Amino acid sequence: MEDIDETIDKTNSKGYNFIMSKNNGSNTLFALACGMLVGAAIAVLTTNKKGEEVREELKEKSKDLPEDLKKVLVDFKQLYNRSYAVIKNVTQEKAEIAKKLLQENKEKIKTTIQEASKKIQDKLKEDICD
């Protein structure tokens, strides 16, 4: 189970709450494995075949399970790595754009702050003198 410190409660732009988990995907894989087991159990319980036939079929299909699971894990890891790379790239690009905009507007921002500061000082002097 996740520790409460490992979960972050967020609110998106539309005001809906959602949970961001800091886990590494292990919960997703665990849920996938549990789903596969539940599906197999349901299939066994609802089949019209004899017990011996079901056991033989399960035995036959279970031989491929480790290899199939390895393929799923490899695919999952590749998808995770690609997604991470894309997100990292986009984040870096946005940070570079923000930095560039800040540099381009640095003087304008400085001037605006100085003008606002001057107006505040003038207003304070007026209030004090009145």
Q: What is the pLDDT of residues 5-38, one digit of tens each?
A: 444 445 555 555 544 455 556 677 778 778 888 8
C-alpha distances in Å from residue 47, one per residue of 43, 50, 57, 61, 63: 6, 8, 12, 16, 20
Buried b (16+ CB within 10 A) or exposed e, 41-57: eeeeeeeeeeeeeeeee
Q: What is the pLDDT of residues 61-82, one digit of tens each?
A: 778 878 888 888 888 889 889 9
Q: Does the residue 13 lie in any domain?
A: yes
Q: Where do the DSSP E strands lie in 1-130?
A: 7-11, 17-21
Mean pLDDT across the stretch 110-127?
A: 90
pTM of the entire predicted model: 0.40
The owner of tokens 């520790």 is 3
Q: Does the residue 12 lie in any domain?
A: yes
Q: Does the residue 109 lie in any domain?
A: no
Domains: count for the chain: 1
**Partners of residue 21 on adjacent β-strands:** 7
